[in-house]
Amino acid sequence: MTVKVNGRMRDHVPVNYKCCSLFLCFVINVGWIITISISVGSNIMLRGMRFVFAAAVVTAFGVMGLGQPAIARPVLEAGVVPFDGFRPGTVVIRTSERHLYLVLGDGRAIRYPIAVGKPGKEWAGDTVIARKVANPTWQAPSVVLLDNPHLPSLIPPGPANPLGPRALVLAADEYAIHGTNHPETIGTKASYGCIRMYNRDIVDLYQRVSVGTPVVVED
């Protein structure tokens, strides 16, 4: 079953590109060895080619990182994925993944790519959406102005606004889930603790949640 996300029908299908690359490397090397061994007809040459092939495979494992634990990379497009463990309607933010999940129920959730707090600015805990703000005005927090004194203290709604077109302000007014004027940061650790989303994604999420929606932030 698919769910319309950002006006399009989406269902996530993972693809293991590393396995495909390794298989291609294997096929090419086998074909190369057979061709050379037939044309030369030398046992010495065939042994040499076997050594080259073994070295190529070892190199491929090292370059592609298949000999090491895989490093999770955020998927940079929203989609529906399997998801359990939370009540429908809950927003779950997994900082280490740089993903936000809106739980749909029936073992599914909409997954959105996000930017999270930079090192030293991460946080975790339970909260709720306290306010929904369309076309917000950005007011620079004191810690941001301290690090960036050249920034204006207020930025009105528009393309230069760091909050983007929508903001979901969390309880205590310290952090928010919002859009961004720097979409290239999505998938990274870049903020002062707020959760950044692509503007199209925050508009989509904004219409799906309400004030009081529970938000769970995990490491």
| pLDDT tens-place string over residues 157-200 | 999 999 999 999 999 889 999 999 999 999 999 999 999 999 99
In 10 A of CB 61, how many CB atoms? 15
Label residue 25 left, alpha or beta by phi (over 0 means left) and psi (-120 to 50 means alpha).
alpha
* pLDDT tens-digit series, residues 132-165: 999 999 999 999 999 999 999 999 999 999 999 9
**pLDDT category, 8, cuts 50, 70, 90?**
low
Could you tell me which residues are beta bridge partners of residue 91?
A: 102, 215
| Buried/exposed code over 170-188 (b: 16+ C-beta within 10 A; e: otherwise) | beeeebbbbbbbebebbbb
Q: Over pLDDT 70: what percentage of the chain?
A: 68
- Active site residue ranges: 178, 194
More confident residue, 133 or 42: 133
d(CA 91, CA 210): 11
d(CA 46, CA 26): 16
Predicted model pTM = 0.71
Label residue 6 left, alpha or beta by phi (over 0 means left) and psi (-120 to 50 means alpha).
left
